Structure 1
Amino acid sequence: MASLTIVVLTIAISRIVYRYRWKLRFMYYIARENYKINVHRPDALSNDPYHFDAFVSYADEDRTFVISLVKHLEKEFNLRLCIHHRDFIPGTGIAENITNAIHNSRKTFCIITSHFLDSYWCMFELNMARMDAIYSRNGENVLFLVALEEDTMKKLSFSFMDLIESKSYIEFPEGGDDEEVTAFRSKLADTLRQSV
């Protein structure tokens, strides 16, 4: 009887942990970051709690496009953007770098491509950004998507349908002329500048 009770409790706890895995991961990393700030760096607290205007989540295969986009947004619109290959802290775990970047950025936007959807770390970033929006920002809309490839949004997991239905995404004008690309960048910058 004792063995049966232990097996049932183990299965029940495993199901609960699996169901809330993203929330538990998010809470762990945020608690860890808050501990570091309060205990190790009390001088890090300032009036502006955000180091960046936005964290840019993208697949490494799309790096060329993202670097070009980030350069334009930072130069033309004076935005502070966080991208992993430039702003992550060496020697810190990937998961911790991701959650710190999301939590220390006013907004998060994901460059959705087929490479993004196939990447474990990109999906991790997307899930952590959703958890941050729900649990740290009181459900405010701080996450949005940029569809870089046509029909990519249709391939997005069913669990992200709320982002698609709420129109929390914009599409890059694939094959568009310079005027359309400039309008896209301007719209993206306006979205990033909107106060949360």
Structure 2
Amino acid sequence: MQLLHVLNLSDNHILTLSKELRSDLESIVSSRNNITLTVDLTKNVISCSCDNLEVLEWILEHTLPTSSLLILKLSTCYYTHNASTTLAYPVLIRNKADLLFQVTFLQKLCTSYTPVLISLVVLLFFIFNIIIGAIIHRFRWKIRYWYYIGNNREFGRNGYTSIEGSLRFQRFKYDIYLAYEEDAREFVLETLRPKLEEQEYVVFVLDDILEGLPLCNVLTKSIHSSRLVVFVLSNGSRESLEWTIAAHMTNEESTHRGKSISLAMFYDSNSTLGLPENLQLLRHDAFIDYPINGSEDELSAFYEDFKAKVSGIITTTV
């Protein structure tokens, strides 16, 4: 169609222009030298809608005044997507400025909210994960406690092992669990533990854990199976994994039983730093000072007092 100058499509029922038609019209003018092609679309029902926005933008580009050799004429535009619009129906297009106004209006009206919705969903997901992470972090020791207790088949229906034999208390495997720092290890193993065993208490210490066993599982099980946990507080670091697990699991076990099962012994220390807050707030009679440089009489008095405190807690443990 090299000689085509005017394509009269006026007074029809054209709603839109296909992409193929638009491409064909542009191909005609591009294949000729400085010959214009005018397409008359007046008196049609061209749709003014979001679905047809691309076509309207294309018509605007080729509406006079334009530098293009392809010229389109448009007289009306119908808002077919929204019958409740306050704009006239149909909208008259008298010049390029009128068409520009309608295109600009539709561009604002038809702005896609998909990126906004995606961003909002991502933000909500991020916030949700932060909240879940904070909750998990807040209750991480409680979650660990119930995980190891719930998955330990050795515990009975009520969570405790029933042990037959020579143990003084059948519902607990140990009478006392001793938690200590490295610098108090010698004192615990060579002095304190033998003294307690002389009084027929069944004692568990960190050194009883066999190498290669899962530490958190073993400590949780041992504390759960003990009537009393004694923290030997010295000047050593309380940031070790063993100490942290023992302290937190004791706190969870106390909550589970509904009573304190802790006793703190100050051995070369007078600070509770490093203990969980609930253990730092132990009642006054749950603390006892070891006379590290005391006389024989002071040591005897200490062990009598210590025995009384241990017995007081153990005998009330159900």
Q: d(CA) in 2 for partners of 1:174 and 1:38?
A: 41
> Offset of 1:3 from its aligned partner?
0.9
Q: Which residue of 1 aligns with 2:254?
A: 133
Gaps of 5+ in 2: 1-119, 165-169
With normalisation by structure 2, the TM-score equals 0.54
Task: Indicate yes or no: 2:140 matched with 1:21.
Answer: yes
Shift of 1:157: 5.2
Q: Equivalent residue of 2:201, what SS?
A: coil
Query: For the Cα contact (< 8 Å) 2:227–2:261, is it kept in 1?
Result: yes
Matched with 1:109 is: 230
- The count of aligned residue pairs is 185
Please identify the structure whose Cα radius of gyration is greater. 2
Q: CA deviation at 1:6?
A: 0.9
Given that residues 116 and 123 in structure 1 are in contact (C-alpha distance below 8 angstroms), is that contact kept between their aligned partners in structure 2?
no
Percent identity between the two aligned chains: 19
Runs of 4+ in 1 over 4 A off after TM superposition: none
> Are positions 1:161 and 2:284 aligned together?
no
**Cα distance, 1:12 vs. partner?**
0.6
TM-superposed CA distance for 1:152, in Å, is 2.3
Q: State the 1:90 CA deviation.
A: 4.7
Note if 1:70 corresponds to 2:189.
no
User: What's the C-alpha RMSD, in Å, of the aligned pairs?
Assistant: 2.2
Could you list the runs of 5+ residues in structure 1 that have no partner in the other structure? none
CA contact (8 A) 1:89 1:97 kept: no
Written as runs of structure 1 = structure 2, the 5 A alignment for 1:34-183 is 35-38=153-156, 45-46=162-163, 48-67=170-189, 68-75=191-198, 77-86=199-208, 88-135=209-256, 137-138=257-258, 140-153=259-272, 155-156=273-274, 159=277, 160-163=279-282, 165-183=283-301
**1:152 aligned counterpart, secondary structure:** coil
Normalized per residue, the structure richer in helix is 1
Taking structure 1 as the reference length, the TM-score comes to: 0.84
Q: Assess if the C-alpha contact under 8 Å between 1:53 and 1:192 holds in 2.
A: no
Amino acid at match of 1:45: S
Deviations for 1:64-113, whole angstroms, at most 9, x for unmatched residues? Answer: 100111112212x1211111213x24542111111111011111111011
Which whole-Å deviations, capped at 9, do the CAs of 1:4-27 have from their partners, x for residues lacking one? 121011001001111111111111
Inter-partner Cα distance in structure 2 for 1:69 and 1:83: 11
Question: Secondary structure in 2 aligned to 1:114?
Answer: coil
